[in-house]
Structure 1
Amino acid sequence: MTGLTVKLLAMIDALSVPDGGFSVDPVTGADVRSGYAAAVHTECERVLDHPVAVGDLIAYVARYADVLTLPGSVLGGWRDPETGKVYLDVSVVVSDYSIAVALAREAGQLAIFDFAAMESVRIEYGARVAA
């Protein structure tokens, strides 16, 4: 197997568990390991209700290559533990929790990802939590 195939299979494996996911630098292929990820390019969000395949990831990257090459862009994937749906998106990673929450709220996102805790954090909107 090539290095790319191994990486794609690892990304798919990460999406196979509830609250699993990945954030990958699209230029280097390195996993993001610190900060808070927030999906900010809502036009790039794709929601899948089936198990993700290598072809899904390749098609997604090909479709949004122009956005993924913008400075600071990160390829993200997340499996919502409540619905089992998989979200593919273009995210940014910031070091400040409050900024990540503000970015996610502005984009109407369900959650951000906290790399220190290695878990998603649901975003609250007023008196309710996004569902």
Structure 2
Amino acid sequence: MTMTLIDWSARISAMADALSVPDGGFSVKPDDGSDVRAGYAVAVHPEHERIFDRPVTSNDLHEYIAQAKDALSLPGRVLGGWHDPATGRVYLDVSVVTADLSEAMTLARETAQLAIFDFSAMESIPVATPVAA
């Protein structure tokens, strides 16, 4: 599916709306704008993480996509956004989606993430810290 500029504008507006509610968010395939529907999303490019202490606008999303376009063009990457219910902060990131919870947690710890997103439960899962031996 190829999206027109008008379709992308509407899609980006909907993504900004999704970030307006606590624990709201999205994971979108950058090639066609479709939602990811299965697996666990993990932000894997900390250098592209952006944190906002205010509501995120469509303009913010347009700017972020332009800045992160190289990472978003890598195979298997998705555009992610999350509204942390505990702090009210909004995070934008470049993520991967894996079907394996253990792999997702390992990737999340390696990149110092607070949470991953479970699409089957439609909720965030806090990242468990490894237990010292």
Whether TM-score is above 0.5 comes out as: yes
Q: How does 1:1-131 map to 2 (within 5 A)?
A: 2-126=6-130
Provide structure 1 residue ranges, at least 5 long, that are not aligned to the other structure. none
CA distance in 1, matches of 2:130, 2:106: 13
Over residues 13-65 of structure 1, what are the superposed CA-to-partner deviations in whole Å (9 max), with x where a residue is unaligned?
A: 11011111000000111000000000010000000011111110000000010
CA distance in 2, matches of 1:5, 1:69: 19
Deviation at residue 4 of structure 1 after TM alignment? 1.4
Aligned residues of 2:26 and 2:35 also touching (Cα < 8 A): yes
Return the letter of the residue paired with 2:111: A
CA distance in 1, matches of 2:13, 2:72: 20
SS in 2 for 1:37: strand
Deviation at residue 87 of structure 1 after TM alignment? 0.3
Structure 1 length-normalised TM: 0.94
Aligned residues of 2:105 and 2:128 also touching (Cα < 8 A): no
SS in 2 for 1:125: coil
Structure 2 length-normalised TM: 0.92
Provide structure 2 residue ranges, at least 5 long, that are not aligned to the other structure. none
Return the letter of the residue paired with 1:84: G
Over residues 53-93 of structure 1, what are the superposed CA-to-partner deviations in whole Å (9 max), with x where a residue is unaligned?
A: 11100000000100100000100000000000000000000
Query: How many residues of Structure 1 are paired with residues of Structure 2 in the alignment?
Result: 127
Deviation at residue 2 of structure 1 after TM alignment? 2.2
Return the letter of the residue paired with 1:31: D
Deviation at residue 126 of structure 1 after TM alignment? 4.1
Over residues 99-119 of structure 1, what are the superposed CA-to-partner deviations in whole Å (9 max), with x where a residue is unaligned?
A: 001100100000000000000
